[in-house]
A and B are shown apart, each in its own frame.
Chain A
């Protein structure tokens, strides 16, 4: 089977790769590009650990083919901090102890950022429903929701 040549943009940087036709975007990110921040919790679209955005839309990268990234804008956890400066969501997650083992954290941060881009002032209920596709087995979610609400408030003030 011949490989497919893909030209795309990841976290603002132009990227080119060859991938197999059946290879997922998650495998491309992790195995070909060394971007291991996106995690595989299931490989079937049920846990959200592999969340990235593609052209601004939140997707499970385990359900997207690497070939589909052609010409797209992909954003992953690796692009969230600007240099040494953490994104407000990242800071608030640390401050509120909204992570334990941390394996769900990259996916949840990407999903929360996507929520706040579309709705800068979500209710707690909206935040809980938006993040319902991102499973966390450690924290019990309370502190995650609090961190998201707090980051949203800070970002509204700053803008």
Chain B
């Protein structure tokens, strides 16, 4: 909360410029997917599978087709055999031949009204042969387990997955000699941890609208985090050339990983192609819970050893992940979780291994934190456990082990900027760490701390910057702003590079026809990677403008400088040219319109083979590192066992805050989402059926449950980042469950093995602590 808000001077980098689209959002005029209409548009409804695992024997859609208002029906027979998937291509546009989880889309109806579509869906008859279901990863690995994907060996995989049976993928990372290292440890702690499935609950349910033109080309609007991943998934599953599909995005009502890969876009496109009319399909809240994706349940075995001074020597981590029915982003989540399993510490000997197992549940996938909150929950508690055994303060214990500037990360990624130590200092001071909080009668209360690191980076990105005839600027990146404010931050980077007010920059909405490729709004990457592309493209525009100015003023380029307001001047003189004059010349007289573009792909290797062994690594090139430290003050009711966070402090090293207030909101929003995960959010299955697919039964934090979160921005500039920036989107969530568990540990003693930390779990520990006292 460092930069003051002042709209009159808010032009470029480092200013808390309000988000560009705020006015339409506060007046109700912002258009999200459900607000879009097309002439002659049909509405769609989906038939979900009643079984978790079954063969589809036959369909009878005659009654549904005859129902009032129905224009078209699709089943698995109507979609091609193509399969999509980010890491393993294992998923059709809708179920074909088999169903793999309860609720999986089996058929869909397009009708004149939504009510007619919903009524007709129930008239579709499907004959199934039910198969035994696999409902846990342990069951999936049993020797006689029913197999979900019989053709797994033939699927296209983008990395060495080691798939076999129901094992979707496995990953093994080793550095140093863990087995030999235990002998040198003075303290060893070991434990098993489990974490639950968390629902994303973006307040906007997923939806799509598709329309085919007379040439057979399809335009698709959808709630997404990447128009390009939507295009790739639809085209892979429906076997269309990518040039036949145009993917667009309206405003997006929140995305936390759930809108990154496909949801119902492929089946919506199939319906539009079948009926020849525009079709809109928007999920109900219940469907959004049941058929999109969720955060992976983890089972973690972790062992950590340190010497008598508390210096960490060895860490071993073994994870078992529930993949759900389709691979989706799961191999990436597991690989990333293993990579982060040592935390931001120097540990010379580390081994991290994992198995990802198909089960008959909805797919688990990307979710803010991408596996990091789960392993941090185990890791950060073991740091506290060792500190307790050695009578060290948890902060002192961490200081002795911090990853230092210049150190590399586990398995080999380089770490350039590292503000971890400053983050730790900041929360220690802000939270008055040394002062124990006073517990009200009938409560226990303590503070807890956790640290985290997270990457920003990955894959390809581009930007096109154009100088318009009047000298104003058009920016086009293909990056979807899901509400976090990337359009604003990227416009600020562009404005700063060209020294123009931010209002002079327009930001194009992502469009696969006109925008340069952008892998997606994910992996905390847009400000960092797309920001680099924007700075590069704006720099190219500047270079061209300088060339024009040199000719117009008849001086060498070296004698020119860029001045505030978008003017190019002769150094040390009052002679200058506004962008308008330069761009006018380029458009009408000489050289041609000024267009700058820049593309890049993150290409620093994850793995250094001289340092470590890596098998089944899904991300060969990963990203740059951000750091965070979080302190929470937790109060536990001794009668009910209910825990509550009363106050929180979170310091995040973001390299450079392009827009400080937007960084604050990332930290605060991430904190509260992490708090819900830590304390009560949990998807519960009754056999194969999700038992709580509603906002009444699945509780997310409200304003009444949420504490004041002190966000603290730390800036240790990243040399490769735009103006030093690196990512901020996910890291604020990562340390939260661990910090809360550590506060609970400090208040009640012991380790929290299972999330969420509900009253039912904490009350027995209070009673036990009372008996012990």
Chain A residues with CB under 8 Å of chain B are 30, 35-44, 46-47, 49, 76-78, 80-81, 86, 90, 93-95, 97, 99-106, 109, 127-129, 131-145
Contact = CB atoms under 8 A, between A and B. Distances in A.
B57 interface: no
A94 B23 contact: yes
Given A94-B23, A99-B25, A139-B665, A128 B203 contact: no
A159 B485 CA distance: 34
A137 B23 contact: no
Given A44-B696, A102-B253, A103-B32, A141 B26 contact: no
Contact of B695 (A46, A94, A132): A46
Q: Is chain A's interface secondary structure helix, strand, loop, or mixed overall?
A: loop
B352 interface: no
A86 B29 CA distance: 13
B203 A104 contact: yes
Given A47-B203, A143-B668, 12 more contacts: A37-B29, A39-B32, A100-B665, A101-B251, A102-B483, A103-B32, A127-B703, A129-B704, A133-B702, A135-B203, A138-B484, A140-B673
Contacts of B35: 30, 36
A137 B201 contact: yes
Contacts of B27: 37, 77-78, 80-81, 86, 90
A103 B19 contact: no
B229 to A, nearest CB: 19
B28 A106 contact: yes
A14 to B, nearest CB: 20
Given A80-B27, A90-B27, A137-B254, A101 B202 contact: yes
B252 interface: yes
B285 interface: yes
Contacts of B252: 101
Contact of B16 (A97, A134, A145): A97
Nearest to B667: A140
A127 to B, nearest CB: 8
B706 interface: yes
Nearest to A110: B28
Contacts of B703: 127-129, 131-132, 134, 136, 141, 144-145
A129 B702 CA distance: 9
A39 B18 CA distance: 23
Given A47-B203, A78-B27, A101-B252, A94 B668 contact: no
A73 B482 CA distance: 34
Contacts of A49: 203
Contacts of A103: 32, 203-204, 251, 253-254, 483
Contacts of B19: 94, 97, 99
Contacts of B254: 100-101, 103, 137-138
A77 B26 CA distance: 8
B256 A93 contact: no
Contacts of A76: 28
Nearest to B255: A101
Contacts of B668: 139-143
A47 B220 CA distance: 28
